[in-house]
Structure 1
Amino acid sequence: MRRYQMRLSELPRALRHAYRGSGVARRVRHFDGWVDRAVPEAGGAGGYDHAETVREYYELCNGFMVWSWGESLHFAPLTPNESLEESKVRHQRAMIAKLELEQGMTVVDVGCGVGGPMRRVVRETGVRVVGININEVQLAQTRKLNAEAGLDHLVDLKSCSFMDMSAIEDHTFDRGYAIESTCHAQDKQRAFEEIFRVLKPGALFWGQEMCLTDRFDPNDGRHRAVKQDLMRGIALHDIATFTEVNHALEAAGFQVIEGRDRDVREGPSTPWYQPMESRHGTLGNALRRLPWGRKVMIAGSKLAEVLRLFPKGSAEVVRLLDQTAEAYVAGGKTGIFTPLYCFLARKPSRA
């Protein structure tokens, strides 16, 4: 299966399509202030809708994210002898095995991004997948990539929030998975309740959550600052602990079969954040991901704006992503944060 990797020459068109002539720098500033707008003390915060913040995050960042990280916008457990891309494939295949997918099943991909995992699931198992996403920019790219892969006949895409899938009937899906999507939920239990509703009794549900680890100390100012930077940069309304994720699943009705931080290393391995900190892969990928490469990209984006290749304000998006990458690395190096809490749960047969 050919992995899609956006070329730099494709990026200007992707950005123009995503931004559609809007004031990008203004939108970045507005996004950057979402944490302050979300607190109850902020005037009018009672009407705050975090789903809109998440939608804006992906609309602003998707082009650069796909260019730098590939079609599968998630982290994976890394090993020294694998590229990031190879590790993501291995991780997706582990999920497929846990879900016990079989041809003829219908599966929901909750927050499908641009469909990298979806295409692997469909191609390797023959199941039918329904992808859920609130971001039209990502949905348009997913449709294009699915058609190019010859898989569009096995995929349906729905533009809706996973907090409200009312267009989907109860007990529709044989299986479900959510890869770094429900971490964005303003109310995690309610998100899991909606997923629970659309799954058939007995269905398995696999998820990957961004979480605080047991090392997080709420009394440590540095820890609180890193958490705040992660929340702001990734559009996370809060960051749950492993226990809080499990409690939300159980409160929604799921039986938690297993849950663990897949970054806990057994034998030779590589920290999940290394691709954003030190060389892991080709020189081209280093330009896309490493600190020096991100700084070069900020400067290059400013020049591309002057030459009218990139929409004005694009450099501010790269700067936002650079700051977020620094927060990821800080969270990983202090050991207080992981994007690799993976769980397997089941909807009871008599639900």
Structure 2
Amino acid sequence: MKRHAKRLGELSKALTEAYRGSDVAHRVRHFDGWVGRAGGEGGYDHEETVRDYYELCNGIMVWSWGESLHFAPLTPDESPEESKVRHQRAMISRLELQQGMKVVDVGCGVGGPMRRVVREAGVRVTGININEIQLAEAKKLNAEAGLEDMTDFRKCSFADMSAIEADTFDAGYAIESTCHAQDKQRAFAEIFRVLKPGALFWGQEMCLTDRFDPRNARHRTIKRDLMRGIALHDIATFGEVNHALEGAGFQVIEGSDWEVREGPSTPWYQPMESRHGTLGSALCGLAWGRKVIIAGSKLAEVLRFFPNGSAAVARLLDRTAEAYVAGGKTGIFTPLYCFLARKP
């Protein structure tokens, strides 16, 4: 009980710092309307939408999902956190990292994978991120881990890393980040530019599978709900990701859905599902129902334990969790398309 109370206190502090001085409920309503703005006339900037998404949701996501904000292939005998560690080690192995290399983490979040890469491969990692809240948290966590001398950060878009010279990094990776790009080939081309010739690039993309049928109304609805809730300008197919990589100049060595495996496995979306509804089992490991979680957030607002608007963010994340589960159950969506490419 004390552990849960401590974690709730940490969440309260994180939300208070992130939302200070802003009308959070209004910001959530504005975010919800981004798909309509993107389809209209005028100068729509998708990077602003992605920045809003992480500014609103980062605190709850880190609290519920941990410091590594990505999915991983799950097995029945592992916790989700253990599966993410195994997944990151597989990435490290694919990249053939050697001590002393300079590596770029494209869209580094709060640095969970970065810290594992530094510890286990002995490389220096530069994190790229446009979100100040996540950058501040990543720097704090790296300092607490004693890794600040092996890491640094650049506040910039991965589609425009002009402050970084060409041919700088020996390797790179992007875990569920370039899926947010408005122009995927442009993002890959900029990553290509900052990598040295011969460098390996590993990525994990959220994709539509070949089960997606654009004529199916249910499929279209799920795709729209995923785009809206995760701030994805579009959702690419496996082939479209490979085409964008090759268009940027990369040689694609391998690419597959890592959810498709032999032997016992657990669906990637299971942590967001419980018999009471989605989101419950992901939050603090408790099987709360969705209504209980949202009602608890509302009560915390009344008691001034959470900032006003926190419940609106919880509702947003819950709707997104429902979309993830729907995409996973129908088989039309996976967050686990993983590829390895090389800059010639």
The TM-score bracket by the shorter chain reads: over 0.9
Aligned match for 2:119, one of 104, 113, 123: 123
CA–CA separation in structure 2 for the residues paired with 1:94 and 1:331: 25
CA–CA separation in structure 2 for the residues paired with 1:212 and 1:172: 33
RMSD: 1.3
Displacement of 1:294 in angstroms is 3.9
- Other-structure match for 1:164: 160
Q: Structure 1 residues 193, 200: closer, same or farther in 2, change over 3 A?
A: same
> Secondary structure of 2:206's match?
strand
Identity %: 82
Displacement of 1:291 in angstroms is 7.3
1:21·1:311 contact (CA, 8 Å) conserved in 2? no
CA–CA separation in structure 2 for the residues paired with 1:302 and 1:61: 16
Aligned match for 2:52, one of 48, 52, 56: 56
Q: Which amino acid aligns with 1:37?
A: R
Asked whether 1:82 is paired with 2:78, we answer yes
Aligned match for 2:64, one of 47, 54, 68: 68
> Secondary structure of 2:165's match?
coil
- Other-structure match for 1:12: 12
> Secondary structure of 1:7's match?
helix
- Greater CA deviation, 316-325 or 17-26? 17-26
CA–CA separation in structure 2 for the residues paired with 1:15 and 1:191: 31
Q: Which amino acid aligns with 2:36?
A: D
CA–CA separation in structure 2 for the residues paired with 1:34 and 1:287: 26
CA–CA separation in structure 2 for the residues paired with 1:181 and 1:286: 21
The C-alpha deviation readout for 1:251-287, integer Å capped at 9, x for no partner, is 00000000000000311000000111138xxxx9554
The C-alpha deviation readout for 1:118-153, integer Å capped at 9, x for no partner, is 000001111000000000000000011000000011
CA–CA separation in structure 2 for the residues paired with 1:266 and 1:292: 32
- Greater CA deviation, 13-22 or 284-293? 284-293
Q: Which amino acid aligns with 1:154?
A: M
- Other-structure match for 1:3: none
Aligned match for 2:87, one of 86, 91, 95: 91
- Other-structure match for 2:306: 310
CA–CA separation in structure 2 for the residues paired with 1:276 and 1:209: 19
The C-alpha deviation readout for 1:217-236, integer Å capped at 9, x for no partner, is 00000000000000000000
CA–CA separation in structure 2 for the residues paired with 1:277 and 1:166: 42
Q: Structure 1 residues 211, 311: closer, same or farther in 2, change over 3 A?
A: same
- Other-structure match for 1:216: 212
Q: Which runs of 5+ in 1 are unaligned?
A: 1-5
Q: Structure 1 residues 287, 20: closer, same or farther in 2, change over 3 A?
A: closer
CA–CA separation in structure 2 for the residues paired with 1:23 and 1:286: 26
- TM-score, normalised by the number of residues in structure 2: 0.95
- Other-structure match for 1:23: 23
> Secondary structure of 1:203's match?
strand
Q: Which amino acid aligns with 2:72?
A: A
Aligned match for 1:324, one of 307, 320, 335: 320
CA–CA separation in structure 1 for the residues paired with 2:290 and 2:48: 27
Q: Which amino acid aligns with 2:312?
A: E
